[in-house]
Structure formats: C-alpha cells, structure tokens
C-alpha cells in the first residue's frame, strides 16, 4: 500500500479499511491536474528559494515524464496507491530521488485536492459551455429556416394561439443561453487558487501564493485558508447549473417525444437517433430523447447528495468531502453526453411543416384574433369573447375550422363579420401582426435572431494562464 503517511502508526491499516478510504479508483481522473498543480508549486518554491533551480528542473522534468507515460499507457495508475497524489509523488521519487521528496514542502493533500478539483471543474465547465454553444448554433440555424413554419402554441397542453417553429425553438435558445451565463458565473466565482492554504492554517514557508495562482490562470489566491480546503459550494452551484441544463433538455425532450408520436407526427427523428423494438417491427422509438429525460433525475440526485454531504460538516476539511468527486464526475459526464446526442438528434430531425400548420388551423388557435377582429369592428371585447366562444362551439359541432366556414354561416353567429375576416384569421396574419420584440412576427424574429447571432460571436475573456498547456514550457 503506497501512502504519504505512516510514521505515527504502529501497524498497517486494515485492508478493507484501506480500500474503503482510498480514492485512487476515481481521482485518477485528474492526474493531469495534479501534475499541473505540482509543477506550478515547484516553480514557486524555486522562486522563493525553497528549492534550488536544479531541484526544480528535476521535479518538473520528472512530473512531465510521468504525465506523458500515463497518457501513452507505459505507466499505469494502479489501485496499490491510496490516491492520485501518492501515485504521482511515489513515482516522482522513484525517478528523481530525494529531490522528489521536497515537492510537498508547504503543501497538504487538503489544499492539493482542492486545487485539483478546481482545475478539473474549470476545464469541464469550458467543455460543457462549448457543447451548449454548439446546440445554440443548431437552434439559431433552425430558427432562421422556420420563421414561416406555422404551428400551434400551447398553454395547459391545449392549443392556444398560432406561432412559428422559429419562435418555439427560440424559447429554448433563451433557456440554454441563460445556462451558459450560469456556467460562466460559476467559473468566475470559483477561479481563485487554494494552493498554499496547507491543511487548514497556511504554512510557515514564505510561499508566493499570488505567483502560483497566476501560473495556473486563477484570478488570485483564496483569502482564508480554512475556507480554501473546505469550500465545495462551487460544486453545489455547478451541480445546480447542470441540473438546470438537464431540466431544459428534459422539457425539450418531452416535447420531441410528444411531437414524434403517431397522433402528432410533427417531427421525424433520424434513424441514427432512434431504436426499434425486438418484437414489434413497426416501432421507431425516440430513445435518445427518453434517455435524456430519464438521466435528468440522475443529475438531480448528485445535487441532492452533495447538499446532504455538506450540510453537517464542521470546519475545516473532513473525509466526507471525498464524496464530492464521483457524483460530480458522473453529473458532468451525463450532461456532456446528453448535450452531444441531443444536439445530433435535433440537428438531423425532420419537421413535418404541413402537419404542424394544419394542427394550428384545426385547433382554433386563431380564436383570439377573431375576437380582436370583432373588437376592431366596434364590438366590446367581452361580447366579442362570447361570440367567438359560440362560433368555436358551432365549428366543433360541424367538425370544421373558423376559416372554413362560409360568410353566411359566420353572419348567423354575428352580422358584424365581413369578407375581410378570412384574412384576419389566417395563420400568416395572426403571426405577422405580433411584432413586439420577442413575439413570433417576422420582423421581431429577425431582430431577435440578429441579436443572438451577435451573442454567439462573443468569447469568454479568460486569465492568460487558463488552458495554456503545457505549463512546464513556460517555466523551464
């Protein structure tokens, strides 16, 4: 058992207790972050005169070699090590000797793991943001192509007013845009370096924490060493944001599942994102949408687990906090895979435009506009509302739509109706009259699409050191 402690103990840890305590089977995931943080720490130690240049160079070279060997597969991270920190340090000492034993000077595993997790999460936020942006680019393209694709808008799952597919998709565009803003906020708020906090009370060595932070692309060092090693609220924020992303994906998935049904037939999901039945040869199932909807609960579970884990932990570090990793890793993986597959499904989905338009016509979505027509002829709105209600009832009895009635039939309901009623209640007119910003009218949609296309051109302004790899090339 390779571990970084033991001098105070008189016998080895029970094997089962060791395995229960060990984290190597999941924290091996951030071996690159552990090495990156160690390189920055070594460089700072040399700058402060705690290491010689020769020692620093040997450490950086050894760490770089470990990273490359792991990536190439010639060095395997095995379960004989307690955690990723002991794996890296043990292999470093084996390669360069006593100089490797000096790497941990002024550092604890508490601030080391806090750093590793922040470096890892920071990278994952950026990758998740890239997937969100790809989905937004798909949506903006579909919006541009479907400004005149008419469909029913719904309230209470009942057809309410006519809208366009562009307008409907635009609602999800705004949701995912806010998701990106939440991720960016979390990134900026968490981007402070905990390294140098030690176990909980800092260190007596003259560390330059600001220099270490700058090497790693942080805004600066954290300002309280106890908070530095026990802070996990950024993970709670992250899991909350990931849960919100999944909630939006799940709502969208629910609609696609409904639209894909035989009863609606608004969409045809591409074969590449559908599955069949082992017994029913006619079936084509929307499994990607269903799994996305289902996996939402998995991410919610990670958030609840993290909140529950953290709720009773006194300051500062406690082993409970080791539980933060697996649930966070799983939530991140789940969201990223759902975003990639969901985007592929939407990008290749075929919309049955004629069916969508017919559904809007047959659902009396133009009833409000018919009432507004009467108001325009001098009928008080409340009376107009009652007249159109009677008109809808008449249409239901005849299994027809408002625009399919003859003028004579319309006049039996109200003599105010004239020939211009047909243009007033056409889907095109109903939609085009709605020109306030955010509405489905053509001019309003063009303005919104232009705004959002400019938004998609924007890039994050990151600290210079962020994602600049490899670090050793900057410091050797």
DSSP letter string over 357-406? HHHHHHTTTTHHHHHHHHHHTT--HHHHHHHHHHHHHHHHHHT--GGGS-
Catalytic status, residue 228:
no
* C-beta separation of 428 from 418 below 8 A: no
User: What does each C-alpha distance from 422 to 370, 373, 405 come to in angstroms?
Assistant: 9, 10, 9
Catalytic status, residue 426:
no
Crossing angle of helices 109-145 and 442-457, rounded to 10°: 150
Number of H helices, E strands in the chain: 21, 4
Is 267 strand, coil or helix?
Answer: strand
Which of 74, 156, 278, 406 is labelled catalytic?
156
* DSSP code at position 13: P
User: What does each C-alpha distance from 304 to 170, 296, 384 come to in angstroms?
Assistant: 31, 13, 51
R_g of the chain, CA atoms, integer Å: 30
**Structure-token match 């006619």, residue found:** 282
User: What does each C-alpha distance from 255 to 101, 154, 313, 395, 446 come to in angstroms?
Assistant: 58, 11, 41, 28, 24
Which distant-in-sequence residues (6+ apart) come within 8 Å of 47 by Cβ? 208, 211
Which of 261, 265, 277, 390 is labelled catalytic?
277
Q: Which residues are catalytic?
A: 156, 277
């Amino acid at each position: 058992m390779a571990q970084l402690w033991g001098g105070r103990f008189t016998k080895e840890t029970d094997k089962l207790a060791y395995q229960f305590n060990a984290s190597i089977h999941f924290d091996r995931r951030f071996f690159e972050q552990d090495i990156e943080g160690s390189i920055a720490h070594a460089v700072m130690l040399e700058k402060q005169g705690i290491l010689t240049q020769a020692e620093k160079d040997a450490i950086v070279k050894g760490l770089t070699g470990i990273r490359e060997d792991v990536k190439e597969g010639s060095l395997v991270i095995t379960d004989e090590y307690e955690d990723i920190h002991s794996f890296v340090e043990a292999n470093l000492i084996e390669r360069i000797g006593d100089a490797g034993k000096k790497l941990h000077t002024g550092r604890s595993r508490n601030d080391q793991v806090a750093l590793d997790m922040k470096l890892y999460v920071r990278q994952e936020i950026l990758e998740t943001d890239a997937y969100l942006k790809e989905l937004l680019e798909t949506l903006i393209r579909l919006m541009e192509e479907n400004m005149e694709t008419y469909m029913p808008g719904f309230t209470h799952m009942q057809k309410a007013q006519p809208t366009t597919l562009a307008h409907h998709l635009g609602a999800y565009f705004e949701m995912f845009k806010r998701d990106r803003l939440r991720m960016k906020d979390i990134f900026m708020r968490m981007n402070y370096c905990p390294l140098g906090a030690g176990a909980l009370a800092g260190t007596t060595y003259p560390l330059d924490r600001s220099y270490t932070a700058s090497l790693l692309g942080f805004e600066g060092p954290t300002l309280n060493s106890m908070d530095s090693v026990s802070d996990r609220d950024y993970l709670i924020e992250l899991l909350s944001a990931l849960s919100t992303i999944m909630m939006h994906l799940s709502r969208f998935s629910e609609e696609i599942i409904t639209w894909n049904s035989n009863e609606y037939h608004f969409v045809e999901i591409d074969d590449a994102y559908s599955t069949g039945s082992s017994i029913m040869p006619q079936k084509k199932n929307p499994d990607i949408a269903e799994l996305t909807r289902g996996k939402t609960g998995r991410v919610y579970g990670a958030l609840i687990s993290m909140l529950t884990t953290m709720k009773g932990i006194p300051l500062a570090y406690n082993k409970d906090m080791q539980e933060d990793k697996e649930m966070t890793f799983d939530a991140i993986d789940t969201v990223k895979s759902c975003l990639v597959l969901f985007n592929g499904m939407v990008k290749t989905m075929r919309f049955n435009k004629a069916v969508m338009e017919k559904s809007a016509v047959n659902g009396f979505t133009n009833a409000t506009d018919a009432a507004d027509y009467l108001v325009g002829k001098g009928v008080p709105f409340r009376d107009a509302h009652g007249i159109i209600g009677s008109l809808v009832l008449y249409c239901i009895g005849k299994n027809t739509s408002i625009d399919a009635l003859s003028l004579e039939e319309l006049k039996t309901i109200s003599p105010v109706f004239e020939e211009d009623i047909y243009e007033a209640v056409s889907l095109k007119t109903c939609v085009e009259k709605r020109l306030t910003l955010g509405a489905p009218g053509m001019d309003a949609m063009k303005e919104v699409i232009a705004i959002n296309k400019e938004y998609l051109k924007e890039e994050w302004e990151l600290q210079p050191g962020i994602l600049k790899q490899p670090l050793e090339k900057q410091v050797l």
